[in-house]
Amino acid sequence: MKPVIIDNDNFEQEVLNFDGTVLCDFWAAWCGPCMMLAPTVEKFARNNPDIKVAKIDVDKCGELAAKYGIMSIPTLMVFKGGEVVNTSVGVISEDDISELVK
């Protein structure tokens, strides 16, 4: 499944109200490590269609980044039942992402 692009208007519906696991990738276009992680996140999304993957551009969604205390990017945040259950900062492998969402 292709990652869903999140903005301030659809975050609640796509992430908080989703009945399942959501992996949120907080990123920015100017962030080198974010660009390194992006193909891994996209591959994870393709290989795990049961998990919703959401991309959140911190430059366009500064309010969301502030709300969730994003201080460094890339940050991956796992939501279940509208609650954050796990977080990772920096570039990680697909195997590490799989462990993160368990």
Query: Which residues are annotated as catalytic?
Result: 31, 34
CA angle, 61 then 67 then 72, to 5°: 75
What SS3 state is found at 79?
strand
**SS (HEC) of 6-28:** ECCCCHHHHHHCCCCEEEEEEEC
DSSP state of 51: S
For residues 100 and 97, what is the distance between their CA atoms, to the nearest angstrom?
A: 5
